[in-house]
Structure 1
């Protein structure tokens, strides 16, 4: 396996590192208070090409493979997770469906603007009755002439308030269950489409999620994404592809927590010595570093497998599960290492702790990942 990065990726990685340190981090508290990403930061992100990481060069993107993309996600993950999620949701599940399953006309129509960040992408699968039970969709799509008419709703949709292009799953044939789900590309201005109010969350401030409503929403037939009836399969592919990227973002946050903790334990003194010299503290740092290094190796292994075109359903589920739980453990220990200051909202540690919690829920809960893993194991052992 080769995880080496070419000079272009290394250059972009350094630039992103400086960008998040000098341009995003100083606005972290403002993002928390206003629950939105400053327009200046979004504009600079567009100029750097961050919205086009997953999009091929022929459509105006950077066309970066998964190993390179994870290296960049790792840097993005070191800053405010609301910003991280805005970028990650767009370049991950918000665009990969069109990149991987869109026809040439769809790619030419949507990808160039999405690569420039002029149009933001979002992925709409989850409904009140279809979260972990993703096949239990109620949103319907009925063919009428040269259009499909969508009716229903989605909720907890990341990037909902800023997105222009939505990958939406809806039932086209209720009698076929999972095989009756179809993917659609829905634009925010389509008749009958409405975005609801921003949902107030525990963490991920700045990454706005909201409900979507479809009331006789008119979607042209040419906006069917992939084959009719393959929507559930498409959703699984899109989510599996994004899991290595999500793990890389978690990895960056873990590394940031270690960096902040190491700086703190060298400066903070108790009993006349830096607290790193106390074994209880030193052991927590050792465990944080060990977990993070294991996540780093696993992340790039799965990313390499993706670049090789290998099937990664089981490995991606393992990585998503492991990455989210490592992030939770590292964040918890970082709070403990910092003591009282780690619990104060004026400092970033408690923010990472709150943001870490969602990683065990969104893009497939930890429990669903275990179901996927065990299901793949059964298939392997039956061969």
Structure 2
């Protein structure tokens, strides 16, 4: 079946909330081309041979081994997937870049961070914003692994507020170079990189400016010691100090004052790539957990037979399956949007920038949801291993520590929750997403008499898709009333925005999961997808429970009297199943299959 999406069927970013998506219009892992499957398999082989087999070396802060593995990845072409062919890369589509990021990240957070920092924020700003001369000079070296890149944005006083950096760039009297002075911190790859993307402020400009700075200790560049971190032990993370570092004017990246835009767009791509980088980690943790549970005996039986362990395995699997489903759905939407813009005459740079920017809401959703899924998966992995899980001799505790950073970088999850809702409201104000019409209809429905007709739920996922439609009503009810009450002041009510964001996140994740399984059930048959169906139903059930909790929290925070009573009644109506799923039976079904397979086999 063709997986090409017609332009008229491609929803804009955020429109998933107000328009129904057909299952045929989503991309799934099962849609990978033969070329993509070969790429995936070769990446997994590299990870198994060079990374997973030597995870202890990464835990012993073997930075040299991280660099060695990065060079090997460069020799295999894994650093060049997203780089256009004109600059020594493979020029592959967005889905393929996600695929490599996914499977190369499964073994160790140290290598995953080095890989992401180099291919993403180290290389991408030049390919997307650089002049032709800059791209010809730097990108081929970065694509091959001859050079490595790093990204200098964060400062001691500038974290989430990225534009508040104090690093200065002063133009020389002859106008030939800028002198950069300042301090950057938490710089991944700093210990072995050849080049930095540096953000600094020129004079009293409102916005920072980007520069390409070669790493030359003789040019006023010095490094702090390697940071002592909770996890990602072999990811080189150091402070970088610039003391009147001379940078030729031709090394300014894009235009003066354009640095904040570069940083924000780099973060959009970084967020969805971070979600990808959390996927194979989940699969491998499930695999290790199940193998241990199959072998570990207590009370004369393997612990996998205990219901408490089955519940953990099933929840880990459902979260992983949902993470895959939503990540690849969004990746293909971005790839299709890029192709549409190129067909319309945009340059590759313009098309990719706008293609990713279009789905910034989805990128933030994925960053939050998948980073939290990988954390819970590793946490449960430790619990299944018991005392051995807490031991550094087993891989579980390092996986938990490595996973923890994912909720912080690329914008904290708190920032991304507020961004998702804030960007959606802005899109509505610009007319890109019609929230007012659907929100008004929900308000009218609340005032009307509910239908007591028994719906027809005889087809696969009919009730589940009805539940997702009702969850959308919950968000529209809460967000619509909040916007009506607070207007542009909504951003000052952060706890309310975060509650609304949690509902929005669950809608996108659960819908993506249901649509993936529906599509594959139509292709391969419901029996062949029985476990995927169970995982989808389990994930949706959990999503509805979150919507109930967060919806109530939000409503009580800003509504009073009759309005509050009406909205709470609406919340109850919109989250009520006609046929409650047997969650215990679903978990048991999922866990039994994973135990029989001795791992997660649904990718």
Q: Give the structure-1-normalised TM-score.
A: 0.96
Indicate the larger mover: 300-309 or 207-216.
300-309
User: How much does 1:254 deviate?
Assistant: 0.7
CA spacing shift, 1:40–1:381, aligned 2, 3 Å: closer
Residue 61 in 1 paired to residue 97 in 2? no
Hey, what's the Cα distance between the residues in 2 that align with 1:40 and 1:217? 29
Matched ranges for 1:156-175 at <5 A = 156-175=186-205
Q: Is the 8 A contact 1:173 1:181 kept in 2?
A: no
CA spacing shift, 1:318–1:210, aligned 2, 3 Å: same
Q: Secondary structure at the match of 1:34?
A: coil
Hey, what's the Cα distance between the residues in 2 that align with 1:314 and 1:185? 29
1 or 2, which has the higher helix percentage? 2
Q: Of residues 191, 202, 221 in structure 1, which corresponds to 2:219?
A: 191
Equivalent residue, structure 2, for 1:11: 38
Q: CA RMSD in A?
A: 1.5
Residue 52 in 1 paired to residue 80 in 2? yes
Q: Secondary structure at the match of 2:89?
A: coil
Q: Is the 8 A contact 2:150 2:187 kept in 1?
A: yes
User: How much does 1:250 deviate?
Assistant: 0.5
Hey, what's the Cα distance between the residues in 1 that align with 2:274 and 2:91? 18
Q: Secondary structure at the match of 1:215?
A: strand
Hey, what's the Cα distance between the residues in 2 that align with 1:24 and 1:175? 45
Q: Is the 8 A contact 1:36 1:206 kept in 2?
A: yes
Equivalent residue, structure 1, for 2:269: 241
Equivalent residue, structure 1, for 2:27: 2
CA spacing shift, 1:195–1:375, aligned 2, 3 Å: same
Matched ranges for 1:64-83 at <5 A = 64-83=92-111
Equivalent residue, structure 2, for 1:200: 228
Q: Of residues 158, 176, 182 in structure 2, which corresponds to 1:146?
A: 176
Equivalent residue, structure 2, for 1:228: 256
Q: Of residues 50, 54, 65 in structure 2, which corresponds to 1:27?
A: 54
Residue 380 in 1 paired to residue 427 in 2? yes
Structure 1 unmatched runs, 5+? none
User: How much does 1:40 deviate?
Assistant: 4.5
Q: Is the 8 A contact 2:209 2:257 kept in 1?
A: yes
Q: Give the structure-2-normalised TM-score.
A: 0.61
CA spacing shift, 1:88–1:248, aligned 2, 3 Å: same
Hey, what's the Cα distance between the residues in 2 that align with 1:94 and 1:9? 24
Q: Secondary structure at the match of 2:187?
A: strand
Q: Of residues 174, 194, 215 in structure 1, which corresponds to 2:243?
A: 215
Hey, what's the Cα distance between the residues in 2 that align with 1:43 and 1:108? 20
Hey, what's the Cα distance between the residues in 2 that align with 1:163 and 1:299? 29
Equivalent residue, structure 1, for 2:504: none
Hey, what's the Cα distance between the residues in 1 that align with 2:416 and 2:232? 22
Equivalent residue, structure 1, for 2:380: 333
Q: Is the 8 A contact 1:54 1:95 kept in 2?
A: no
Structure 2 unmatched runs, 5+? 1-25, 339-354, 432-603
Equivalent residue, structure 2, for 1:116: 144
Hey, what's the Cα distance between the residues in 2 that align with 1:243 and 1:302? 12
Q: Is the 8 A contact 2:223 2:240 kept in 1?
A: yes
Hey, what's the Cα distance between the residues in 2 that align with 1:138 and 1:374? 29
Q: Is the 8 A contact 2:70 2:115 kept in 1?
A: no
Indicate the larger mover: 79-88 or 150-159.
79-88
Residue 91 in 1 paired to residue 138 in 2? no
Hey, what's the Cα distance between the residues in 2 that align with 1:325 and 1:205? 20
Q: Secondary structure at the match of 2:410?
A: coil
Hey, what's the Cα distance between the residues in 2 that align with 1:54 and 1:213? 30
CA spacing shift, 1:95–1:221, aligned 2, 3 Å: same
1 or 2, which has the higher strand percentage? 1
Q: Is the 8 A contact 2:272 2:364 kept in 1?
A: no
Residue 137 in 1 paired to residue 165 in 2? yes
Cα distance per residue 1:56-82 (max 9 Å; x no partner): 111111222221111112211211211
